[in-house]
Amino acid sequence: MEYLKKGIGQNNKQEDDTGKTVAEIISNVKNGGDKELEKYEKQLSNSTRDNFRVSEEEIEASIKSLPKEVKELIDRNVERISSFAEAQLNCILPLEKEFGSGIKMGHRVIPIAKVGAYIPGGRFPLLSSGPMVVAPAKVAGAEKIVACSPANYKNGIHPAVVYGLIRSGATEIHAIGGAQAVASMAYGTETVSNVDMIAGPGNRFVAEAKRQVFGKVGIDLIAGPSEVLVFADDTANPRYCAADLLAQAEHDPNARAILVSISTTCANKTMEEVEKFLNDFSPESPAHQSWENMGEVIYVKSIEEGIEVCNDYAIEHLHLHVKNSDDLIDEFCNYGSLFLGSDSSVVFSDKVSGTNHTLPTQQAARYTGGLWVGNFVKVLTHQKITGEGINYLASHATKQSEIEGLEGHRLSAALRLSN
């Protein structure tokens, strides 16, 4: 493998500073509640809201302000995301089975009662982000869904984001962003209800906050900044490759856009197309900094070597611009979501196809997939031991407890043995 362009990588000092900053925010919000929230919202978000919770009046005004076509787009998002989540939930079946005479075991599928949804909104009003987190939680059966999103639109949340949250099933909405939002949902404040788990993507501060509150609450995964790896052969269209790289690069200055190609011609032409496209992007677009600092182009000598590189990167979005991509699907094992063929744009999943766009980053795809309805349910086991099963298990447990030197365990098992 040969780098034709290499990114500078993550700044370790920046990561250390982020961790310290977030730890302080969490501690202060945990102990100071709304007073500390207000301080951080003014300091970090320039928010001057008197009340963090989005009122019914604000919700009604937001809905009325939206054009019909915007509502229809969001309704379609909610319907497709919910439909896919329902299909996934139908795959998670309860279990009740006999494992030997008198030994019945099984599990139940129970929804998590209180879910916190973090909806990013730092640069753009992302219309699908709310439904991506809230709709699967609603389908799973969550009783309470607390949503937080930055107050970066006229001192509140963008109307389209509010509408998406309401249509998806959010029961409580707060105009709060960043690590302070995560802390407020984890520990609760005078205004914000505490939750059992927190889901949703965000910037490095949000990701770090989720990492630090894990244990107090559950989390879905560490998601963000965005990543894409385009794997291309000599049949790929460099303009398509370039556009797909930039679509993710524009999310964040730290987003990673990577091209792996078995064709130096394709690789070089793609880099040329990226620069051409960037000339037409707004100077303020994060894509410029992302591509310059984090973008990578890698030449590999064969499809097999390319597959190995892709699996090593364990990237968030893996897009195959290669011939007969369907035939290769079983060769890839580490990715957040896989896109087969040059026309299967990652943008379709970002917006409306129905699969979730909250996906593992920073190589987390080595051990987890993306957000799905299964994150919002608990699979709880149970057992009932009767008849012959009592003697069988009690005999085993008594002998094992004696070997282990656990007197209480031996006693509890031995009392069940038949005289």
CA dihedral sign, ordered 123, 158, 317, 218:
positive
Q: The tokens of 137 are what?
A: 């939680």
Q: The tokens of 384 are what?
A: 């009932």
284: amino acid identity, one letter: E
For residue 14, what pLDDT is reported? 65
Report the SS3 class of residue 167: helix
For residue 126, what pLDDT is reported? 80
- Per the CB < 8 A criterion, the answer to whether 332 and 340 are in contact is no
CA dihedral sign, ordered 279, 281, 283, 285:
negative
Q: Which domains does the chain have, with CATH numbers?
A: 12-102+109-219 (3.40.50.1980), 225-370 (3.40.50.1980), 387-414 (no CATH)
Q: Read out DSSP for 368-396?
A: -----GGGGEEEEEEEEE-THHHHHHHHH
Q: Is 293 exposed, middle or buried (0-12, 13-18, 19+ CB in 10 A)?
A: middle
Residue 8 predicted with pLDDT over 70: yes
- Distance, in Å, from the CA atom of 180 to the CA atom of 49, rounded to the nearest integer, reads 15
Q: How many CA atoms lie within 13 A of 401 on its CB side?
A: 15
Report the SS3 class of residue 195: coil
- Per the CB < 8 A criterion, the answer to whether 117 and 206 are in contact is no
Question: Regarding beta strands 227-232 and 256-261, do their DSSP bridges make them parallel or antiparallel, or are they unpaired?
Answer: parallel
Place 13 in a pLDDT band, splitting at 50, 70 and 90.
low
Read off the pLDDT of residues 226-244 as tens digits, 9 standing for 90 and up: 999 999 999 999 999 999 9
- Distance, in Å, from the CA atom of 148 to the CA atom of 180, rounded to the nearest integer, reads 10
- Distance, in Å, from the CA atom of 392 to the CA atom of 394, rounded to the nearest integer, reads 6
For residue 223, what pLDDT is reported? 84
Active site residues per annotation: 316-317
pTM summary value: 0.92
Distances (CA, A) of 301 to 74, 298, 356: 44, 10, 33
Read off the pLDDT of residues 340-398 as tens digits, 9 standing for 90 and up: 999 999 999 999 999 999 999 999 999 999 999 999 999 999 999 999 999 999 999 99
Q: What's the rounded mean pLDDT across residues 104-110?
A: 98
Report the SS3 class of residue 122: coil
- Distance, in Å, from the CA atom of 388 to the CA atom of 229, rounded to the nearest integer, reads 57
Read off the pLDDT of residues 195-217 as tens digits, 9 standing for 90 and up: 999 999 888 899 999 999 999 99
Read off the pLDDT of residues 108-147 as tens digits, 9 standing for 90 and up: 999 999 999 999 986 667 889 999 999 999 999 999 999 9
Q: What's the rounded mean pLDDT across residues 259-283?
A: 98
* Pick from 286, 301, 277, 216: nearest CA to 256: 286
